[in-house]
Amino acid sequence: MSEPESDEDLVTRAQAGEKAAFERLVQKYYEVVVTAAYTVLANVDAAKDCAQDALMEAAQNLAKLRDKNKFDRWIYGIARNKAKYYLQRQHLHSEAMKVKTDESRRLKPVASPSEQLSKNEQLDSIRRALSEVPEIYREVLVLKYIDQRSHEDIARLLDISLAAVDKRLMRGKAMLRESLGRWKGEN
Amino acid sequence: MVMVMGNDDKTMTVDEARALLAPYADGLLDQAMAKEVEAVLARVPELQAEFKTMKEENELLSAALAPLRPTQSTRMRVSEVMLDTYKRAEEADHALLDQKSRMIKIVMLVLVLGMCFILGAALLYTGVKNRQQPKPKPAVEKKEPPPSSAPIKELE
């Protein structure tokens, strides 16, 4: 059985221009990058665009990365900064974004089965509720449930203790339930 | 508080099981601990209902985040573009480095030429100045009388 590849090894190989190493890094960390973006932006489409930009920026600066073992934190930081930049830009164009969002809402498929529609609405309401949860709790929730990342991984990535991860998860879920209750109440 | 009665003190209580329900639902407990939670779950319907709700919440949360997960083709495409971007950045870095070293060479050459020019000019200036200055007359040396070879006659 082959040993799991360390980040140090993958980054070294990527810096040598090995295609497979890039594929493995993307396989391992795409969700982390998307999570960082989604935590700040709280919007699926914007987070996906931002994640791709962040990955390109990481590729541009990969040669400068010295502490290869901290690749996960490094790329998470890049994605967060990129997302903050997106958010600033978004604020500048907030009116335009509002129009766009309204249009995309109107373009929802109306011919889908009612059950599917209600499921979609349910998921949509969870995402909206999630956007109301404060960032520090949201990032732990997303990291946990986007690809079942372990608590140890989350703790390492965010540079916090395991107990803090557990606490934030619990608090985050409680807040999410509260937000969901509010959404349901409004609907 | 509902207690699970057991034969020994090590039997898990409902409250203990409840506290472990979230990590159990997330599959984070080791096998032994998970079995203990399952044993309590099997006996307490109230806990079963809580567990069911918890599982549903987790599944919904995971489903709500599903659109963020990239497809395999997206990953492949992104990794290819990343590699391409990395190579272009490397090439640009090398080009910049080459440009820098070329610039350094040019600056060094200019400096050396400049110094040669200054040195040459200084030498030329000194030479011209030396030629222009009147030659000082050689000082007339006082000739001392040659020592007489004849012995001095003693005055008698």
Q: Which domains does chain A have, with CATH numbers?
A: 1-107 (1.10.1740.10), 109-187 (1.10.10.10)
pLDDT at B152: 57
Q: Do B68 and A31 touch (CB under 8 A)?
A: yes
Low-confidence ranges of chain A (pLDDT < 50): 1, 97, 99-100, 103-111
- Rounded to two decimals, the pTM is 0.69
Tell me if B118 is assigned to some domain: no
Residue B136 lies in a domain: no
pLDDT at res. A34: 94
Residue B35 is part of which domain span?
14-68
Flag if B67 and A44 touch (Cβ within 8 Å): yes
**Count of domains for chain B:** 1
Residue A120 is predicted with a pLDDT of 84
A8: which 2 tokens? 């140090």
pLDDT of residue A94: 61
Note whether residue B38 is domain-resident: yes
CB contact under 8 A, A61 and B70: no
Domain-located, residue B145? no
B125 to chain A nearest CA, in Å?
A: 53
Give the model's pLDDT for residue A58: 93
For residue A25, the chain B residue with the least C-alpha distance is B79
- What phi, psi does A67 have (nearest 5°)? -85, 85
Which segments in chain B show pLDDT lower than 70?
Answer: 1-9, 134-156
Distance CA A34, CA A37 (A): 5
pLDDT at position B147, please?
62
Q: What is the amino acid identity at position A41?
A: L
Let me know if residue B44 belongs to a domain.
Answer: yes
B150 domain-assigned: no
Bin B133: left if φ > 0, else alpha if -120 < ψ < 50, else beta: beta
CB contact under 8 A, B68 and A26: no
- Phi then psi for residue A137, to 5 deg, are -85, -35
Check if the beta carbon of residue A58 is closer than 8 Å to that of residue A29. Answer: no
pLDDT at residue B4, rounded to an integer:
43
Residue B6 lies in a domain: no
Give the model confidence (pLDDT) of A136-168 as tens digits.
Answer: 999 999 999 988 888 899 999 999 999 999 899
ipTM of this complex: 0.76
